[in-house]
Structure 1
Amino acid sequence: MASGTIGSGAAEPVLSVKGLTTSFRSGDGWKSVVRDMSFDVAPRETVAIVGESGSGKSVTSLSIMRLLQKNVSRIEGSVKLAGRELLTLSEEEMRHVRGKDISMIFQEPMTSLNPIFPIGKQIAEALTCHQDISFKDAKAEVLRLLEKVRIPNAKGRFDEYPHQFSGGMRQRVMIAMALASKPRLLIADEPTTALDVTIQGQILDLIKQLQEEEGMAVLFITHDMGVVAEVADRTIVMFRGDVVETGTTDDIFNRGHHPYTRALLSAVPKLGSMKGEKAPLRFPIVDVATGSMSEAKPVLTTISATTPIVEVKNLTTRFTIRSGLLGRPSGAVHAVEDVSFSLSPGETLSLVGESGCGKSTTGRSITRLIEPTSGYVNVDGFDTLTLGKAELRTMRRSIQMIFQDPFASLNPRMTVGSAVMEPFIEHGLGSKSDARDKAADLLKKVGLSGDMMKRYPHEFSGGQRQRVAIARSLMLDPKVIVADEAVSALDVSIKAQVCNLLMDLQESLNLAYLFISHDMAVVERVSHRVAVMYLGEIVEIGPREALFENPQHPYTRKLMAAVPVPDPARRHLRRNLSTDEIKSPIRPVGYVAPKRSYIEISPGHLVQVTEGEAALAA
């Protein structure tokens, strides 16, 4: 479908974009990355721009705000805010528009907040820049805004610094700053991508509520179709700089025509879609060129209940906190507390929970990347916590990790071929020629070609870099892979491809996965069993179908209630989620954790209960 102006009725639009084309200097010429884009946003309306990385979504928002570097970019067309042309304004006039008439929330709040100034002062600055207002009045308004975005104890936190806030709370601070001058238009650029599912739900509810109260228009930029369904009145689908489909969100979801729109929708895992399925199920993939869709085949592995490849009993990991002049212990972070589970060959056990619940620390404690405080861990016959340096090195051939950010885990100065070959050479498993042959073979296995070995990490996309990281983790023929948020930062269709790849490898190599994630819909799709963590403890564990179809612990239900559902009919619903932050895992010196009890709801489905509930059940 060709791009055209899409509007929402007779209301005078707050934002009107016509024929927007943005180009960047490339060599001696110009390369267009957004082409002939036109749309309107009316008061109290939310328009979503969706597409994957590189589609031109963020460039569109930065063009509207005129935040692109002048000497390397060129913006053509028309951008009008309440009838006023923005592209012809001077830089000084545009500065008065930004923050006052148009505000923007960026994906990563820590890149937008100054780490050396208290958050109260930063929000007050947004007010004093655009209004003739005293600091006393500005402070009163900031406290009102902080309360409005539901920051507990706003008065006490006015003088705190960004690092003293959690990710979700920092994003709320950014929203308070964006709303300080009561803008006519709010541009939200991937504001929830990196957030836990419950925090994401709170932020979406908050934007809806404030939009109704303040009457502002919202331009919402995301690649998450579940989020689009819950917030957007109308949707624009972008693909490689072009608008390929526009319409009401209901039309896009239920009657989308373009193969790329269908590809985005098919890649969105829907919570509850696995009902009746026993094995994990691959994602269907749409070929954008032909519109054909691959079959979602189940993963067939042989899981032995008698011989676990990983056995964890009473694992505890604590980090000592030191304070005072002499650095004496004043407390400890109880990151992992008395955790027990097993993992069999060919099985996927998912650990789910919010940031700070201990998921990643559990994975790193098992591999001894972090030293546990106590407990028992057996990996492929190795009593892991008793191993010396040489034995630990041997044990790690059996268990490997895939990290969330492949760019951070790949050396930018090494070619990907050298990075993939390195573990094989370091462990002395063969010659350099053997390593090269095996690396080329594994790169083909993960959907890349052997001739890419000479390239560097920056020459690959995020999804390709994650494939390189997966290939490297397979170089030592491990039996267990710990995938720590391995698909969290990926675009929706790339996420589907990487999940399918992991499931293909599991089926062919009978790998065991400890899959660490906060994405409940993905977890439901890829898991055999699921363990829910809260404050360092497993509060519920069981077979995937039992846990998702009959969740028992209140925290498990809270996680599931927060998952965005790709159904436009839910657009006006409010989750009314608690806005409390996850409780602190810091305990005083000498604290003894209470002994937890579990009751069995159905075979293998265990739920943590209090001592009183355990006695009652007995």
Structure 2
Amino acid sequence: MSVLCIENLTVAFRHDEGWREVVKGVSFDIHAGETLAIVGESGSGKSVTSMAIMRLLNARHARISGKVLLNGVDLLGLSEAAMRDIRGNAVAMIFQEPMTSLNPSFTIGHQIAEALITHRKITKRAAREETIRLLEKVRIPNAAKRFDDYPHHFSGGMRQRVMIAMALALRPRLLIADEPTTALDVTIQGQILDLIKTLQEEEGTAVLFITHDMGVVAEVADRTLVMYQGEKVESGTTAEIFSAPAQAYTRRLIATVPQLGAMRGIDGPRKFADDATTTYTLPSASAPPLLSVKNLSTRFDIREGLLSRKTGAVHAVENISFVLLPGETLSLVGESGCGKSTTGRSLTRLTAATSGQIEFDGYDVLNLSASELRKLRCAMQMIFQDPFASLNPRMSVEEALIEPYLQHRLGSKAQAIQKAAALMERVGLSAAMMKRYPHEFSGGQRQRICIARALMLDPKMIIADESVSALDVTVKAQIINLLLDLQQSLGLSYLFISHDMAVVERVSHRVAVMLLGEIVEIGPRAAIFDNPQHDYTRKLLASVPVPDPARRQLKRQIEVSELKSPIRPLDYVPETRRYREVSAGHWVME
């Protein structure tokens, strides 16, 4: 008997002209211990399908028909009280955007423990102990101390780990995972995939896995269902889908998957589906750097007690140095919490650096006045990791796009709207969507809006913090191609922050690997990927999912050891690091 059986599921949303169907007669089932992956482009109906199963759609604005049978019981016919008992207990869900599903008013420990107390009827003390164990299982550093931290104290990847711990807490019969590893670095992604496989073996858990990462699909899914514009266009075993896809759309999905090693022997970045004979202008090594960073450190004070005495500090970024040339892409890679995003925020002074020097286009960034910094930020734009958190929910897309243009007085409102419309089209969205609000878009569409917003001020440099992590493979390819086109035509420089090593290989000129706030290896892309020297770099590369269904039963057996803490006592003196040059421009920490 199937754990979950979906029969002719149809979902329609209320629209100005009436009801519009976004999921159209989809049917499938999942057996105990089986994983079904649903794949498709952003907006294809994947997440709406999962929300309909959980009965999380607003009944006033959404109409659901068909059958959703969980162990033979139709969930669509249950009362809301009965559904509350099922959610989290029999069915758990890992949501795509952790910031929208974690309550900012409660600590993360409280939110996980609440589910344990409600469904298991255990004491607060026992719930706390179990919560700490779950946080350790998903490798949250200092889990016991971080129990009382709030969601905003965590990075995007760390918040996703919290969500995974919450979903696994009650060992559900059905786990719905909506892009569960999107915000995670490759090492923790490998561990989470192993964790889900282990849960299936121990508990017979059925998994509905929604993702755009075809490498992950190949490794975890027994069967795959392909959706396009709300309809099921193809389904079958994962091996069949990958070896002999019947539909052109499925073939296109698989063809646009970035694969590690695809850039071997190619100088500089390369667009998807590009002619190998196309020549790209490489940055001149003799040109003066656009950005120069020397001995940059960023630390966050830890204060405890009634008098909030300083007891230590989080050494988020520790004594790093690098340069970025005009027209160059330098990628920062490393696990969540290693200091990548803090580095990007420190460069723009969104986060105050503790010490060091930052020179950008001739400006001493750390010593600029407020008015000078305002001008600088025209030339140095940032695409943030979480598109939902960086878009004002009360502003329409049009207002969000034209606001920076008008604030910097670059032209009239009419010119701003015209430019915003052109950029919307360029990032693959319709200009007619500009009157909508952020909640009316999928996660991938919101990220495209953020990219368009960053381009409104014609910057010289863009700090792209996980800018394509939320995008499906076809849109990811389009955005990467767009970024590379802009780099060629405008001479843009990119600081590309990512955990997707296959994407990093495709877009980078140089790569810097970060661990616990320090750069442990830096050099030309080919040197880092073809001849990694540091043990941590090798570990990152070994963790990358490969789009090969033959690896489906493979477990990487990555050691689930706790990440070392970046928290240091007041008297801590950083160790002096030594680097050796392996080859021209390729440096590794000894």
Question: TM class, shorter-chain normalised?
Answer: 0.7 to 0.9
AA matched with 2:215: G
AA matched with 1:358: G
Identify the match of residue 171 of structure 1 among 163, 168, 171: 163
Q: Determine the structure 2 residue equivalent to 1:615.
A: none
Cα distance, 1:341 vs structure 2: 0.9
Looking at structure 2, the residues matched to 433 and 36 of structure 1 have their Cα atoms a distance apart, in angstroms, of 43
Looking at structure 1, the residues matched to 91 and 368 of structure 2 have their Cα atoms a distance apart, in angstroms, of 58
Structure 1 pair 506–148 and aligned structure 2 pair: CA distance change class (3 A): closer
* Residues 505-540 of structure 1: per-residue CA shift (max 9 Å, x gap): 001111111111122111111001000111111000
Structure 1 pair 152–392 and aligned structure 2 pair: CA distance change class (3 A): closer
AA matched with 2:567: I
Q: Determine the structure 2 residue equivalent to 1:533.
A: 514
- Aligned 8 A contact 2:304 2:311 in 1: yes
Structure 2 residue 253 is matched with structure 1 residue 264? yes
Cα distance, 1:350 vs structure 2: 0.5
* Residues 452-474 of structure 1: per-residue CA shift (max 9 Å, x gap): 77776667665555455444444
Identify the match of residue 356 of structure 2 among 352, 375, 378: 375
Unaligned segments of structure 1, at least 5 residues: 1-11, 285-293, 610-618
Cα distance, 1:600 vs structure 2: 1.2
Identify the match of residue 556 of structure 1 among 519, 537, 540: 537
Q: Determine the structure 1 residue equivalent to 2:574.
A: 593
Structure 2 residue 385 is matched with structure 1 residue 404? yes
Percentage identity across aligned positions?
A: 61
Looking at structure 2, the residues matched to 82 and 113 of structure 1 have their Cα atoms a distance apart, in angstroms, of 29
Q: Determine the structure 1 residue equivalent to 2:244.
A: 255
* Residues 348-396 of structure 1: per-residue CA shift (max 9 Å, x gap): 0011112221112222222333332222222112232333334434444
- Aligned 8 A contact 2:140 2:562 in 1: no
* Residues 19-48 of structure 1: per-residue CA shift (max 9 Å, x gap): 222334446854332222222222322111
Structure 1 pair 235–364 and aligned structure 2 pair: CA distance change class (3 A): same
* Residues 210-245 of structure 1: per-residue CA shift (max 9 Å, x gap): 111222322222222121111111111111111000
Cα distance, 1:500 vs structure 2: 1.0
Structure 1 pair 218–148 and aligned structure 2 pair: CA distance change class (3 A): farther
Structure 2 residue 3 is matched with structure 1 residue 14? yes
Cα distance, 1:303 vs structure 2: 1.1
Looking at structure 1, the residues matched to 324 and 490 of structure 2 have their Cα atoms a distance apart, in angstroms, of 16
Looking at structure 1, the residues matched to 349 and 324 of structure 2 have their Cα atoms a distance apart, in angstroms, of 17
Looking at structure 1, the residues matched to 53 and 433 of structure 2 have their Cα atoms a distance apart, in angstroms, of 37
Looking at structure 2, the residues matched to 524 and 430 of structure 1 have their Cα atoms a distance apart, in angstroms, of 38
**Count of equivalent residues:** 582
Q: Determine the structure 1 residue equivalent to 2:230.
A: 241
Q: Determine the structure 2 residue equivalent to 1:546.
A: 527
- Aligned 8 A contact 1:123 1:142 in 2: no
Q: Secondary structure in 2 aligned to 1:118?
A: helix
Structure of higher RCO (CA pairs closer than 8 Å, 6+ residues apart) = 2
Identify the match of residue 229 of structure 1 among 214, 218, 223: 218
Structure 1 pair 383–236 and aligned structure 2 pair: CA distance change class (3 A): same
AA matched with 1:329: K
- Aligned 8 A contact 1:530 1:542 in 2: yes
Q: Secondary structure in 1 aligned to 2:180?
A: coil
Q: Secondary structure in 2 aligned to 1:486?
A: coil
Cα distance, 1:568 vs structure 2: 0.7
Identify the match of residue 486 of structure 2 among 495, 501, 505: 505
Q: Determine the structure 2 residue equivalent to 1:305.
A: 285
Q: Determine the structure 2 residue equivalent to 1:5.
A: none
Structure 1 pair 325–580 and aligned structure 2 pair: CA distance change class (3 A): same
* Residues 492-511 of structure 1: per-residue CA shift (max 9 Å, x gap): 32222111111000011111
Equivalent residue runs for 1:560-575 within 5 Å: 560-575=541-556
Looking at structure 2, the residues matched to 475 and 74 of structure 1 have their Cα atoms a distance apart, in angstroms, of 38
Q: Determine the structure 1 residue equivalent to 2:589.
A: 608
Structure 2 residue 179 is matched with structure 1 residue 190? yes
- Aligned 8 A contact 1:281 1:299 in 2: no
Looking at structure 1, the residues matched to 434 and 5 of structure 2 have their Cα atoms a distance apart, in angstroms, of 47
Structure 2 residue 340 is matched with structure 1 residue 351? no
- Aligned 8 A contact 1:167 1:195 in 2: no
User: Radius of gyration: which is bigger?
Assistant: 1
- Aligned 8 A contact 2:9 2:64 in 1: yes
Structure 1 pair 83–302 and aligned structure 2 pair: CA distance change class (3 A): closer
AA matched with 2:225: I
Looking at structure 1, the residues matched to 144 and 349 of structure 2 have their Cα atoms a distance apart, in angstroms, of 39
Looking at structure 1, the residues matched to 582 and 400 of structure 2 have their Cα atoms a distance apart, in angstroms, of 46
Cα distance, 1:68 vs structure 2: 3.6
Q: Determine the structure 2 residue equivalent to 1:482.
A: 463
Identify the match of residue 579 of structure 1 among 520, 544, 560: 560
Q: Determine the structure 2 residue equivalent to 1:280.
A: 269
Cα distance, 1:488 vs structure 2: 2.0
- Aligned 8 A contact 1:279 1:299 in 2: no
AA matched with 1:269: P
Structure 1 pair 451–476 and aligned structure 2 pair: CA distance change class (3 A): same
Structure 1 pair 443–238 and aligned structure 2 pair: CA distance change class (3 A): closer
Q: Determine the structure 2 residue equivalent to 1:524.
A: 505
Looking at structure 2, the residues matched to 151 and 197 of structure 1 have their Cα atoms a distance apart, in angstroms, of 13
Structure 1 pair 369–14 and aligned structure 2 pair: CA distance change class (3 A): closer
Q: Secondary structure in 1 aligned to 2:537?
A: helix
Q: Which moved more, 1:369-378 or 1:102-111?
A: 102-111
- Aligned 8 A contact 2:35 2:222 in 1: yes
Identify the match of residue 128 of structure 1 among 97, 104, 120: 120
AA matched with 1:217: A
Q: Determine the structure 1 residue equivalent to 2:472.
A: 491
Equivalent residue runs for 1:382-393 within 5 Å: 382-393=363-374
Structure 2 residue 181 is matched with structure 1 residue 200? no
**TM-score normalised by length of structure 2:** 0.87
- Aligned 8 A contact 2:52 2:64 in 1: yes
Unaligned segments of structure 2, at least 5 residues: none
**TM-score normalised by length of structure 1:** 0.83
Cα distance, 1:599 vs structure 2: 0.9
AA matched with 1:258: Q
- Aligned 8 A contact 2:245 2:251 in 1: yes
Looking at structure 2, the residues matched to 414 and 113 of structure 1 have their Cα atoms a distance apart, in angstroms, of 22
Q: Determine the structure 2 residue equivalent to 1:336.
A: 317
Q: Determine the structure 2 residue equivalent to 1:36.
A: 25
Q: Which moved more, 1:71-80 or 1:584-593?
A: 71-80
Equivalent residue runs for 1:60-75 within 5 Å: 60-75=49-64
Structure 1 pair 371–152 and aligned structure 2 pair: CA distance change class (3 A): closer
Structure 1 pair 121–413 and aligned structure 2 pair: CA distance change class (3 A): closer
Looking at structure 1, the residues matched to 539 and 235 of structure 2 have their Cα atoms a distance apart, in angstroms, of 34
AA matched with 2:261: G
Structure 1 pair 332–151 and aligned structure 2 pair: CA distance change class (3 A): closer
- Aligned 8 A contact 1:124 1:138 in 2: no
Q: Secondary structure in 1 aligned to 2:253?
A: helix
Looking at structure 2, the residues matched to 445 and 158 of structure 1 have their Cα atoms a distance apart, in angstroms, of 42
Looking at structure 1, the residues matched to 130 and 44 of structure 2 have their Cα atoms a distance apart, in angstroms, of 36
Structure 1 pair 297–242 and aligned structure 2 pair: CA distance change class (3 A): farther
